[in-house]
Chain A
Amino acid sequence: DQQVKQNSPSLSVQEGRISILNCDYTNSMFDYFLWYKKYPAEGPTFLISISSIKDKNEDGRFTVFLNKSAKHLSLHIVPSQPGDSAVYFCAASAVDSWGKLQFGAGTQVVVTP
Chain B
Amino acid sequence: KAGVTQTPRYLIKTRGQQVTLSCSPISGHRSVSWYQQTPGQGLQFLFEYFSETQRNKGNFPGRFSGRQFSNSRSEMNVSTLELGDSALYLCASSGLETGPNSPLHFGNGTRLTVT
What's the tally of chain B residues with a CB closer than 8 Å to chain A? 29
Question: How many pairs of residues, A versus B, come closer than 8 Å at their CB atoms?
Answer: 72
**B24, CB-defined interface residue at 8 Å:** no
Among A91, A98, A100, A106, contact of B58 (Cβ-Cβ < 8 Å) = A100
Residues of B within 8 A of A96 (CB): 98
Contact B56 A99 (CB under 8 A): yes
Contact assessment for A106 and B90 in the assembled complex, using a CB-CB cutoff below 8 Å:
no
Question: Given that A99-B94, A101-B33 are known contacts, is A34 also in contact with B43, CB under 8 Å in the complex?
Answer: no
Contact of A32 among B31, B50, B92, B100 (CB under 8 A): B100
Hey, what's the 0/1 contact readout for A85-96 against B, CB within 8 Å counting as 1? 000010100011
Number of interface residues, chain A, beta carbon within 8 A: 27
CA distance A105 to B107 in the complex (A): 19
Contacting pair B100 A49 (CB below 8 A): yes
Q: Does A51 contact B (CB under 8 A)?
A: yes
Known: A41-B108, A98-B31. A103 touches B43 (CB 8 A): yes
Q: Is the CB of A99 within 8 A of B48?
A: yes
In the bound assembly, the distance between CA atoms of A102 and B59 in angstroms comes to 12
Contact partner of A99 among B31, B44, B90, CB < 8 A? B31
